[in-house]
């Protein structure tokens, strides 16, 4: 699903109006109806609903929503924040329509006009939408502050008032802090950026049938992975397949004290459909791995505690495996760096690079050029900062991320809430699965195993990253559903992986 910028959203509205064709007022009615359909599914008709409207089209939406809820017998109060002398045309039309249904429309010009808000009430925020062009001030700002102080549940129409859809806000901007944002047709870039968490809440898109052809043709580097899109990436298994069909992966993982990372990545790799798995671990990990992961073959390293490369047992060179996953738990010993330095030029196919292997790249930047093209790098923000530079805001970070993936021709999974998969072509795919329960040691090692398995099965690296990140997050969501997010451990995530 595409993420478009504000200019494109405006053009998309116009394209819909001209090509469908549909009158602007009817498009607003359709938007209001879609919002109301969601709203009545979530709040009973006894909910006292206070709708705050601005004077633009977001306010127009709010007035239409008020009328539609009144028709459905909801107890509704309308409060228009009168911050300017002029209203938009569609605001005026909806104002007239609303007046046919109720005489009671309140106007907020001064702070004393702001109504009291209680915990069992719902506030609908329709003050400002995607037309925001400057920081909130005056009575708009005071109203937003009052809403944010109140214990009521807040639902934002399209986007929280005061939040820019596609550019950074200033630290001191006053912005609605909604519980929910119900947005029209496509998500906004602002919704998936860490700084904005409290200005978005739980967000949902509602379909208002905007012009499909315009959306299909609109150029954008930003995408949000819809569950349907993720499922389409999944390869079907042939009836006559055999274990050779699904690749032979080599994981280079673990060190003394961090053998858990090796076990987690190996188990996740097996649970993600790899045909055969060999794991090279320092000698001290041999009994651990053979016991915890009997399905994997083991290549004990010549070194007792860290990876050095040469193995005690015969085996093909790493370049002969279908793919290699390296990093979880390996540490940064000089011997391990030497191994990494020797290994990289021998690899020709895409690999997965995580954790300390990424830190080795940051500290030895010349190695970056040796990483096979289209490899998948999976940094968390700190690791990514070490690989690149600091950023002043989330938007600058996205620019750095796109540049890095393009310059080095790699796929980068920047992990966290809404993990971002950056492609060598400069696109970014945001992932919506996962929850804060995943913020616990080892879940990243699980992701490395997942991605290594997908590469081994012949997935295109971008598709592997998008699908793997999606499935990993979904596994976390299954665990959260069953036992709650707090106390989830990485092994639970492995067990909850499903490929269907």
Contacting residue, 153, 161, 457, 491, with K ion by CB under 5 A: 161
- The count of residues interacting with K ion (CB under 5 A) is 5
Report if residue 381 touches ligand ADP, rule: CB under 6 A: no
The reply to whether 361 sits in an annotated binding site is: no
The reply to whether 380 sits in an annotated binding site is: yes
Is the distance from CB of 441 to CB of 492 less than 8 angstroms?
no
Contacting residue, 63, 65, 114, 132, with ligand NAX by CB under 6 A: 132
DSSP 96-127: HHHHHH-S-EEEESSGGGSPP--TT-EEEEES
Contacting residue, 235, 380, 406, 478, with ligand ADP by CB under 6 A: 380
Alpha carbons 371 and 449: distance in angstroms, whole number: 18
Q: Report the candidate in 265, 290, 298, 274 with the shortest Cα–Cα distance to residue 491.
A: 265
If the CB atoms of residues 146 and 292 are measured against ligand ADP, the closer one turns out to be 292
Alpha carbons 170 and 408: distance in angstroms, whole number: 32
Q: Report the candidate in 442, 445, 472, 493 with the shortest Cα–Cα distance to residue 279.
A: 445
Q: Which stretch binds K ion (CB under 5 A): 161-169, 222-230, 454-462, 487-495?
A: 161-169
Q: Residue 266: which of K ion, ligand ADP, ligand NAX, none does it interact with, CB under 5 to 8 A by kind?
A: none
The reply to whether 158 sits in an annotated binding site is: yes
299: left (phi over 0), alpha (psi -120 to 50) or beta: beta
| Torsion, Cα of 222, 14, 155, 36 (10° steps) | -120
Q: Report the candidate in 341, 343, 350 with the shortest Cα–Cα distance to residue 423.
A: 350
Interface with ligand NAX in residues 407-436 (CB under 6 A): none
Is the distance from CB of 158 to CB of 121 less than 8 angstroms?
no
Report if residue 489 touches ligand ADP, rule: CB under 6 A: no
Q: Residue 125: which of ligand NAX, K ion, ligand ADP, none does it interact with, CB under 5 to 8 A by kind?
A: K ion
Q: In whole angstroms, how close is the CB of 446 to ligand ADP at the nearest point?
A: 7
For 108-222, where are the alpha helices, taking DSSP H only?
A: 138-149, 212-217
Is the distance from CB of 229 to CB of 43 less than 8 angstroms?
no
Is the distance from CB of 318 to CB of 324 less than 8 angstroms?
yes
Q: In whole angstroms, how close is the CB of 433 to ligand ADP at the nearest point?
A: 8
Peptide bond into 134 cis (omega under 30): no
Interface with ligand NAX in residues 9-48 (CB under 6 A): 13, 24, 27-28, 31
449: exposed, middle or buried (Cβ count in 10 Å: 0-12, 13-18, 19+) = buried
Q: Which stretch binds ligand NAX (CB under 6 A): 96-104, 122-130, 293-301, 410-418?
A: 122-130
Report if residue 436 touches ligand ADP, rule: CB under 6 A: yes
Report if residue 439 touches ligand ADP, rule: CB under 6 A: yes
If the CB atoms of residues 59 and 178 are measured against ligand NAX, the closer one turns out to be 59
Q: Residue 28: which of ligand NAX, K ion, ligand ADP, none does it interact with, CB under 5 to 8 A by kind?
A: ligand NAX
If the CB atoms of residues 13 and 445 are measured against ligand ADP, the closer one turns out to be 445
Report if residue 88 touches ligand ADP, rule: CB under 6 A: no
Contacting residue, 8, 49, 53, 57, with ligand NAX by CB under 6 A: 57
Contacting residue, 13, 61, 125, 477, with K ion by CB under 5 A: 125
Max alpha carbon distance in the chain (Å)? 86
Is the distance from CB of 348 to CB of 371 less than 8 angstroms?
no
Provide the binding-site residues for ligand ADP, judged by CB under 6 A.
355, 380, 415-417, 419, 434-436, 438-439, 441-445, 447, 472-473
Binding-site sequence positions for K(+): 58, 125, 161
Binding-site sequence positions: 57-61, 125, 129-135, 158, 161, 261, 329, 380, 415-419, 444-445
């Amino acid at each position: 699903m595409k993420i478009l910028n504000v200019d494109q959203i405006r053009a998309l509205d116009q394209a819909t109006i001209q090509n469908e064709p549909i009158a602007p007022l009817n498009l607003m009615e359709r938007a209001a109806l879609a919002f109301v359909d969601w709203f009545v599914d979530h709040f009973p008709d006894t909910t006292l609903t206070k709708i705050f409207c601005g004077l633009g089209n977001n306010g127009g939406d709010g007035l239409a929503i008020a009328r539609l809820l009144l028709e459905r017998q909801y107890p509704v109060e309308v409060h228009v924040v009168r911050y300017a002398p002029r209203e938009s045309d569609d605001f005026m039309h909806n104002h007239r329509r609303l007046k046919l249904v109720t005489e009671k429309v309140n106007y907020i010009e001064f702070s004393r006009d702001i109504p009291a808000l209680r915990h069992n009430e719902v506030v609908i925020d329709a003050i400002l939408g995607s037309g925001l062009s400057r920081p909130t001030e005056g009575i708009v700002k005071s109203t937003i502050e009052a809403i944010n102080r109140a214990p009521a549940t807040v639902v934002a129409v399209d986007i929280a008032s005061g939040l820019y859809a596609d550019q950074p806000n200033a630290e001191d901007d006053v912005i609605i802090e909604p519980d929910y944002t119900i947005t029209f047709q496509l998500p906004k870039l602002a919704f998936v950026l860490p700084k904005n968490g409290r200005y978005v809440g739980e967000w949902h898109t509602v379909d208002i049938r905007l012009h499909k052809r315009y959306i299909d043709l609109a150029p954008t580097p930003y995408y949000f992975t819809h569950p349907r899109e993720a499922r389409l990436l999944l390869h079907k298994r042939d009836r006559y397949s055999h274990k050779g069909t699904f690749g032979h992966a080599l994981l280079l993982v673990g060190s003394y004290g961090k053998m858990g990372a090796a076990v987690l990545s190996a188990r996740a790799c097996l649970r993600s459909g790899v045909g055969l798995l060999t794991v090279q671990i320092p000698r001290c990990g041999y009994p651990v791995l053979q016991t915890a992961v009997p399905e994997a073959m083991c290549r004990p390293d010549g070194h007792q505690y860290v990876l050095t490369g040469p193995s005690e047992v015969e085996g093909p060179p790493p370049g002969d495996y279908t793919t290699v996953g390296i990093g979880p738990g390996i540490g940064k010993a000089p011997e391990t760096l030497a191994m990494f330095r020797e290994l990289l030029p021998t690899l020709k196919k895409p690999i997965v690079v995580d954790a300390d292997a990424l830190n080795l790249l940051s500290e030895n930047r010349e190695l970056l050029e040796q990483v096979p093209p289209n490899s998948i790098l999976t940094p968390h923000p700190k690791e990514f900062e070490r690989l690149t530079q600091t950023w002043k805001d989330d938007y600058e970070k996205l620019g750095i991320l796109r540049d890095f993936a393009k310059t080095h021709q790699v796929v980068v999974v920047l992990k966290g809430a809404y993990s971002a998969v950056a492609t060598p072509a400069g696109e970014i795919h945001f992932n919506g699965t996962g929850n804060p329960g995943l913020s616990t040691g080892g879940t990243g090692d699980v992701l490395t195993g997942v991605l290594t398995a997908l590469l081994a099965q012949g997935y295109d690296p971008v598709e592997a990253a998008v699908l793997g990140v999606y499935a990993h997050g979904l596994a976390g969501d299954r665990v959260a559903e069953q036992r709650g997010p707090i106390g989830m451990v990485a092994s639970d995530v492995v067990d909850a992986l499903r490929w269907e």
